[in-house]
């Protein structure tokens, strides 16, 4: 089984990234042939600073390696190091109905939040489809917000196959239901677009955790934990026994949000402090990091070339 995932270097990675896609990928490293790409082409829809994009790409690579990516088990590469992806995106574009893209909620959501209506943002799902199909992925770990884009990928693969013969697999999404939606500090989905994230290695993590929005229920009164952002985030970090205890504390009354936030902060540090120590060590050896990315690119291009040989022949190029 071939597993592929990607992440945009459009800002520092946050808790939503880790529990939404990263952890799923790490858990799957033992179950198949893994590819992970840093989607710097995709990031250009919002990042207009070349120096910042290069640095963010490096930061993403460090974060993944620190948090659990094993380069012996997962091929990690920069999207831009596999130029065949852009070629395939054009072939797919020629089969993509405008209506299919117009229905994509991610584009409409970004427009609602003030993003510029560019072709790159509109055609984002086509490039994502090329990323996935060129590697013949069977399984794609994605956040709930990307499920529709995976469905677009399947639609385009089927359209291509109908037009030119059976070339592409139809990949499946992998979305652990337990972490389908991760709340941000304001209760909305955690997203850089909403400015409500807590970064993986955030120096201001304490301030952000203690600032998570909650209701005004007095401390002495019982509270329903389900749907409470602090509790929902705590479930990601804590053991089942710890989660059950926090839920009981909320329902019993006499337990405030401040206490819950402190427990959340402690659970965060318990998990991420060892990752930070490893990351600090990796950052001291930039050559080794680049070697990992270049080795990954070489393997990824070899796989992409095999796919494109079939595609070019099929379309008459």
User: Could you list the active site residues?
Assistant: 110, 189, 192
How far from 18 is each of 38, 60, 236, CA to CA, in Å? 14, 11, 10
Q: Give 138: exposed, middle or buried? Use CB within 10 Å, 0-12, 13-18, 19+.
A: middle
Distance of CA 205 to the CA centre of its chain: 20
Q: Comparing C-alpha atoms, which of 56, 49, 42 is closest to residue 12? A: 56
- 296: Cβ contacts below 8 Å, ≥ 6 apart: 71, 75, 76, 77
Q: What is the largest CA-CA distance in the chain?
A: 72
HSE (side-chain half, CA atoms, 13 Å) at 16: 27
| Alpha carbon distance 271, 281 (integer Å) | 17
């Amino acid at each position: 089984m071939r597993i592929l995932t990607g992440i945009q270097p459009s800002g520092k990675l946050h808790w939503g990234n880790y529990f939404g896609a990263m952890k799923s990928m790490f858990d799957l490293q033992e179950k198949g042939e893994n590819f992970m790409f840093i989607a710097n082409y995709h990031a250009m829809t919002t990042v207009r600073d070349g120096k910042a994009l290069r640095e963010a790409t490096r930061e993403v690579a460090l974060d993944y390696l620190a948090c659990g990516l094993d380069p012996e088990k997962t091929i990690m590469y920069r999207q831009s190091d596999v130029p065949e992806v852009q070629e395939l995106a054009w072939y797919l574009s020629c089969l993509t109905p405008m209506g299919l893209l117009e229905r994509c909620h991610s584009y409409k959501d970004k427009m609602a939040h003030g993003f510029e209506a560019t072709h790159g943002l509109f055609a984002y799902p086509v490039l994502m489809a090329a990323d996935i199909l060129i590697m013949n992925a069977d399984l794609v770990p994605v956040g709930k917000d990307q499920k529709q884009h995976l469905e677009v990928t399947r639609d385009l693969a089927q359209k291509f196959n109908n037009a030119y013969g059976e070339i592409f697999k139809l990949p499946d999404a992998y979305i652990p239901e337990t972490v389908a939606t991760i709340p941000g500090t304001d209760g909305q989905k955690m997203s850089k677009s909403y400015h409500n994230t807590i970064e993986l290695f955030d120096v201001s993590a304490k301030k952000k955790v203690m600032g998570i929005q909650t209701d005004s229920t007095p401390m002495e009164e019982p509270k329903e934990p389900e749907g409470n952002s602090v509790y929902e985030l705590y479930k990601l970090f804590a053991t089942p026994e710890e989660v059950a205890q926090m839920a009981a504390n909320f329902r019993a009354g006499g337990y405030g949000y401040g206490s819950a936030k402190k427990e959340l902060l402690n659970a965060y540090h318990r998990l991420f402090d060892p990752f930070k120590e490893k990351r600090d060590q990796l950052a001291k050896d930039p050559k080794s990091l680049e070697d990992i990315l270049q080795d990954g690119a070489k393997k990824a291009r070899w796989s992409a070339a095999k796919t494109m040989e079939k595609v070019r022949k099929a379309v008459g190029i």
